[in-house]
Structure 1
Amino acid sequence: MRAMSKRLIIEKTEILKGVITAPPSKSYTHRAIIIGSMASRARILNPLKSDDTWHTVRAWRILGAKIKIKKDTEGKWKEIEIQGFNGRPEPEKKKINVGESGTLLRFILPVVCLAEGTFIIDGKGTLKRRPNRSSVSALRQMGVDISAARGFRVPIKIKATGKLKGGVIYVDPKETSQVVSALLITAPLLSEETKIITGRDLVSKPYVDITIDVLKWAGIKIEETGKGYIVKPGQKFKPEGPFVVPGDYSSSAFLLAAACLVKSDLTIKNLKEDKQGDRRIVEILEKMGAHIERRNNALRVRGPFGLKGISADCKDTPDLVPVLTVLGCFAKGRMRITNVRHLAYKESNRLFSIADQLNKMGACIKVDKESGSVTVEKPLPEKIGTYVFPRVQNDHRVAMALSLIGLRAEKIIIKGSNCISKSYPCFVRDLRTLGARIKEV
C-alpha cells in the first residue's frame, strides 16, 4: 500500500540554537550490516534507522543472515547483532526487492552470485530509472550469466553457480564507485587474486575508502594501487569487537548550512575526522566565509555569515551539490560546482532537478551536462514570499536542500517530503529542536 504523500512547511526563522548529535552515517551503516553478515558473527553500535538501511536489513535476512535489532526508547536503532552466513549465502527467496537504495542494489549483486540458483533483483521508484551498466559489465567479466532490463535497469536476472572468477576486472570509473565497493566486499572470498582496474578518474572515491575502513574492521586486507585495487584470495571475515557507526557528514551538512543562513549558535556532536568525503563541507563553508569551530568531535557554528560564491570540485562529494547550490543562491558572486556529471545517476538527475526549481524562484543557475558543472550566476531575490515546490522527484537531498530556503522566506511548502526518511528520518525533528519553524503534515 502506497504511503500518503506528506508536505513540509517551513517559515521564516529568526534563530537556530542548541546542541544536536549527528545522525549515524548511512554509508557506514550499510557497509557494517553487509560486511558483518559476511562473517559468522558481528555487532554494530549506533546504526542508522532509515528507509534505505531497513531495506539492507531485510535483503540480508533473505540471503540468510540472522539480524537482531535493539531499539532505544524513541524507537531509533541502538544496536544490531548479526549471525552471518560466513560468505556462503543461502537465499530463502528467488526474488529480492532492494527498494530505492542504489547502494544496496550494487552491493547485493556480486553476493547473490555466491549462492546457487536463478535470482531476480528488483527495486522501486527512482531506482527503476537508474542504469547499472558498470555492475553488469563487471560481473560478466567474472563469469556471471546476468541480464538486465532495457538500459541496464532493474529488474536484473542472475543465474548463479556459487562461484565468481577473480583475475583482472575493469570498472568504468565515471558512473559510480559503488561497483568497486561491491567487488571489494566479495573478492576476498574468491579462490584467485582479484585486480580491480579503475584508472585515476574514479568518482566518489571516499565511499570506497569507507568500504575499505569497514573491511579493515572485519580483518580484510585491500591493497590500493595507482590504477585500482588488489584483493588477495581466501580471506576470512573476522570482525574485531563491535563496529561503532560515526555521525553522518552528508546529513549534518544541511544543519551546518542552515546555521550559516540565519542567526545561530549550533553545535553538532559525534562528527569525527573519519573517511567520509562529505566532511569537506567544513572546508567549503569556511572558503565561502563561514567560521566553524571544531572541538574534539563536535562542530560549532555561530551565524549568520555573508557568504561568497566560490568554485568547488565535487567529484568526490556529489551528495553536497544540492545544499551547495542552495547556499550559492544566498552568496555574493558566482558559485561554480564542477566535476559532477555522475549526478545524473542519483535518485533524480541532480544536475537539473534542483537548478530547475531554483530558476523558477528567480535565481539563474546554468547547467553544463557535458562538462558536469552547475553555476549559480544570479542568487535568489532578497525578499522571498510564499512558494510551493510541487515535486522534488522523490529525492531526499533535494527536498532537504530546498527546505533551507524556508528559513529566509515567508513560507516554503514542499510536497512529497516523505522521501527525506530515506536517509535522515529525524531531519524535521532536529531542525524544530533548534528552533526552526518547520512541520510535516
Structure 2
Amino acid sequence: MTETSSHTDLQTDPWPAPHASGPVDATVTVPGSKSVTNRGLVLAALAAEPGWLRRPLRSRDTLLMAEALRTLGVRIEEGVGPDGTGEAWRIIPAALRGPATVDVGNAGTVMRFLPPVAALADGPVHFDGDARSHERPLHGVIDALRVLGARIDDDGRGALPMTVHGGGALDGGPVEIDASSSSQFVSALLLSAPRFNQGVEVRHVGANLPSMPHIRMTVDMLRVVGAQVDEPETGGEPNVWRVSPSALLGRDLTVEPDLSNAQPFLAAALVTGGRVTVPDWPARTTQPGDALREIFTEMGGSCELTEAGLTFTGTGRIHGIDVDLSEVGELTPGIAAVAALADSPSTLRGVAHLRLHETDRLAALTKEINELGGDVTETEDGLHIRPRPLHGGVFHTYHDHRMATAGAIIGLAVEGVEIENVATTAKTLPDFPRMWTEMLGV
C-alpha cells in the first residue's frame, strides 16, 4: 500500500499557494541539476585524483549523497572554485572503507548509485532510509551486483534496508538486468564500472526502458572523466552498454541548471499568459527537462533560446496534449497540473513506472486533482485529464517534491489551494516558496 492511500502526511500548516493576479514577468535563476550533481559526486569519488564540482545543487538529495561518500572515506570540501569565484566542492578520493552506515533518505540516486560503490569498499556498508525508501525497488541493482561478485544481505526483499559486504574490489563482467522500473539500475552499474576488475557489460532484458536521457547523461559524464563506453546510441548493440576498466580523471566540472526544476516557473508563464526567463539554459544537454521547450510550446506557449537563457512566453490559452512521456517521466506532475487547466483533454502516456517513484505519482495526481474538482483517470500507463472548473482545497504531497510544485502551478489559476508539506521541495529545489513568491512579486 503506497502513501497515496491515506493522508498520514497531513500537517497543520499547509502553505497557501499564491494566486496570480496577472501575467508573470520574471527572471528565475534555477539551482544546479540534482542528476548532474549526484553523478558528478560519484565519479569524482571514484577518480584517481582530486576534482572540482562547480555550482553544485545543495538540496536534501545531494547533501545525502555527499554525506554518504564522506562516511566511506571520501573528502568533500565545500567552498569556492579554484579561481576564487563561485560555489564549488573539492572532492578528494580515498580508499573506500567500512564499516559504514548510509542514510539514503528517499533519494533514488543515493539508494541505487551507491551500492556498487560500497561493493568496492573494504568492509560492510549498511543502507537504510525513509519509510518510503523501503517500498522502492532495488532488485535490479542487488541482483546484478550479486552476479558481478558482491555479497549483499537484504533478507530477500529486493529493497532497503540492506548491507553490502565490500571486499575492496569487484570482479565485474557481463550481467543481465530488467531496468523497466527504473533507468537508475543501468546508471548505477555504469558509474562504478571503470573500477570493476573486468569493467561491465550491462544488458537490459525487460520491457521498455524509461528515462533514456538519464542514461545518456551517465554515459556522457563517464566519457568526460576518461571512461571508455560503448552504447546503443553510438552504433552499439541495442540495450547493451559496455564500460572498460580504467582509472578515472579528476575533472573541473560545472553543473548545469536543473531544467526539470525550471518546469513550474515555465508553467507559470503558460498558465498566466506571462513571460519567464531562465538564465544559463544550455544549448545542448541530456537533461530530460529540455523537452519542456517542445511540450509547453505545443500546449500554447512559445520560447526563445539566447545567450541570456531560455525565455518562455504564454499566450493566455492552454491546449490539451497527447504525449508519450516515457523518456521524461519526471515532468509528468507539472504537465498534469497544466493540463488540468487547459481548454481540451490531455492524455499522458508511457509513465507506468511513476507508480514506483517518491510516491505512486499517478494515483496521487489523480486523487489530488480530482479532490479540487478535476476529472482525471488513471490508464494502464498514464493519465487521461479532462479539464473542469477547479476549486480550492488542500493539495497533499505524499513527501514528493514534484507533487508540491504541481499543486503550486494549479494554485496560480485557482484561489484557495493550500499545499500540505511544501517543505518537501527541499529534496531538489531548496527555498522554492521564496522563489515562487518572488517570481509573482508577492
Task: Give me the TM-score of the superposition, normalised by structure 1.
Answer: 0.91
Q: 1:50 aligns with which of 44, 50, 59?
A: 59
Tell me the CA shift for residue 145 of structure 1.
1.8
Q: Tell me the equivalent position of 1:25.
A: 33
Contact 1:292/1:301, CA 8 A, preserved across alignment:
yes
Q: Tell me the equivalent position of 1:157.
A: 163
Task: Give % identity.
Answer: 27
- State the one-letter code of the partner of 2:218: T
The answer as to 2:121 corresponding to 1:131 is no
Tell me the CA shift for residue 385 of structure 1.
4.2
Taking the aligned partners of 1:22 and 1:416, their CA distance within structure 2 comes to 21
Tell me the CA shift for residue 53 of structure 1.
0.5
Name the SS of the counterpart of 2:261 in structure 1: helix
Taking the aligned partners of 2:308 and 2:224, their CA distance within structure 1 comes to 21
The answer as to 2:183 corresponding to 1:177 is yes
* Cα deviation 1:187-214 (Å, max 9, x = unaligned): 1112224211015832111111111222
The answer as to 2:217 corresponding to 1:207 is no
Name the SS of the counterpart of 2:181 in structure 1: coil
- Relative to structure 1, the CA distance from residue 297 to residue 355 in structure 2 (aligned partners, 3 Å threshold; closer, same or farther) is farther
- State the one-letter code of the partner of 1:399: A
Taking the aligned partners of 1:417 and 1:248, their CA distance within structure 2 comes to 19
Q: Tell me the equivalent position of 1:292.
A: 303
The answer as to 2:109 corresponding to 1:103 is yes
Contact 1:15/1:436, CA 8 A, preserved across alignment:
no
- State the one-letter code of the partner of 2:291: R
Taking the aligned partners of 2:114 and 2:210, their CA distance within structure 1 comes to 20
Contact 1:6/1:417, CA 8 A, preserved across alignment:
no
Name the SS of the counterpart of 1:154 in structure 2: coil
* Cα deviation 1:72-129 (Å, max 9, x = unaligned): 9xxxx811011112xx4123x4322122211111011011111232321111142122
Q: Tell me the equivalent position of 1:277.
A: 288
Contact 1:259/1:303, CA 8 A, preserved across alignment:
yes
* Cα deviation 1:266-305 (Å, max 9, x = unaligned): 1111111211122101111111121112113611123243
Taking the aligned partners of 2:113 and 2:212, their CA distance within structure 1 comes to 16
Q: Tell me the equivalent position of 2:334.
A: 323
Q: 2:93 aligns with which of 72, 84, 91?
A: 84
Listed as ranges, the gaps of 5+ residues in structure 1 are none
Contact 2:31/2:429, CA 8 A, preserved across alignment:
yes
Q: 1:420 aligns with which of 412, 425, 431?
A: 425
Q: How does 1:400-439 map to 2 (within 5 A)?
A: 400-435=405-440, 437=442
- Relative to structure 1, the CA distance from residue 388 to residue 112 in structure 2 (aligned partners, 3 Å threshold; closer, same or farther) is same
Name the SS of the counterpart of 1:322 in structure 2: helix
Contact 2:341/2:410, CA 8 A, preserved across alignment:
no
Q: Tell me the equivalent position of 1:141.
A: 147
Q: Provide the alpha-carbon RMSD of the alignment.
A: 2.0
The answer as to 2:73 corresponding to 1:64 is yes
Taking the aligned partners of 2:196 and 2:136, their CA distance within structure 1 comes to 29
**Comparing both structures, which one devotes a greater share of its residues to strand?**
1
The answer as to 2:270 corresponding to 1:265 is no
Tell me the CA shift for residue 19 of structure 1.
1.4
Q: Tell me the equivalent position of 1:121.
A: 127
- Relative to structure 1, the CA distance from residue 5 to residue 395 in structure 2 (aligned partners, 3 Å threshold; closer, same or farther) is farther
Contact 1:6/1:418, CA 8 A, preserved across alignment:
no
Taking the aligned partners of 2:358 and 2:50, their CA distance within structure 1 comes to 33
- Relative to structure 1, the CA distance from residue 349 to residue 6 in structure 2 (aligned partners, 3 Å threshold; closer, same or farther) is same
Q: Tell me the equivalent position of 1:247.
A: 257
Name the SS of the counterpart of 1:230 in structure 2: strand
Tell me the CA shift for residue 420 of structure 1.
0.5
Taking the aligned partners of 1:209 and 1:220, their CA distance within structure 2 comes to 14
Tell me the CA shift for residue 436 of structure 1.
5.3
Q: Tell me the equivalent position of 2:388.
A: 380
Contact 2:71/2:100, CA 8 A, preserved across alignment:
no
Tell me the CA shift for residue 182 of structure 1.
1.3
Q: Tell me the equivalent position of 1:302.
A: 313
Task: Give me the TM-score of the superposition, normalised by structure 2.
Answer: 0.90
Tell me the CA shift for residue 220 of structure 1.
1.2
Q: Tell me the equivalent position of 1:334.
A: 345
Contact 1:30/1:53, CA 8 A, preserved across alignment:
yes
Tell me the CA shift for residue 357 of structure 1.
0.6
Tell me the CA shift for residue 255 of structure 1.
0.6
* Cα deviation 1:288-323 (Å, max 9, x = unaligned): 121112113611123243121111111111110001
Aligned length: 420
Q: Tell me the equivalent position of 2:243.
A: 231
* Cα deviation 1:236-280 (Å, max 9, x = unaligned): 11134x100011111001110111001422111111121112210
Tell me the CA shift for residue 71 of structure 1.
6.7
Q: Tell me the equivalent position of 1:187.
A: 193
Tell me the CA shift for residue 386 of structure 1.
3.1
Worse-superposed segment, 21-30 or 120-129: 120-129
Taking the aligned partners of 2:248 and 2:12, their CA distance within structure 1 comes to 42
Name the SS of the counterpart of 1:68 in structure 2: strand
* Cα deviation 1:307-350 (Å, max 9, x = unaligned): 21111111111110001111111112221111111101110001
Taking the aligned partners of 1:335 and 1:396, their CA distance within structure 2 comes to 23
Contact 1:168/1:194, CA 8 A, preserved across alignment:
yes
Contact 2:199/2:243, CA 8 A, preserved across alignment:
yes
Name the SS of the counterpart of 2:56 in structure 1: coil
Contact 1:11/1:409, CA 8 A, preserved across alignment:
no
